[in-house]
Amino acid sequence: MFMTASRLMIDGKPVLKLNIHEYKEDDIAFLDSLGIDQCEGSSPEYRYTYIHSQEDFLRTRTKILERYKVLEEKGPKVLLEIK
């Protein structure tokens, strides 16, 4: 599983789009609990959520890192493995 992020402007306000790629069935309930539940299309390749504040980003990242360890971090891509 890996995580990416991109900065966007929505309605003139800065937003971070946090994407989770290559998740497994076992990850879905956890991702749902964090609000990472949006998909594009009928067969999603990734899930995402929009984060509107730095505090929300830090809180979400902390919860992800409680469950997964970082294997590698390259720019906006963070490779994760369940602990």
- Indicate the average pLDDT of the chain: 93
SS3 23: coil
pLDDT in tens, 28-61: 999 999 999 998 876 678 999 999 999 999 999 9
Question: In terms of Cα–Cα distance, which of 82, 36, 39, 28 is closest to 59?
Answer: 36
Confidence (pTM): 0.88
Contact assessment for residue 80 and residue 23, using Cβ atoms and an 8 Å cutoff: no
Question: In terms of Cα–Cα distance, which of 48, 39, 52 is closest to 12?
Answer: 52
pLDDT for 42:
66
pLDDT for 41:
75
How far apart CA 63 and CA 76 sit, in angstroms, is 18
Tokens standing for 51? 């984060």
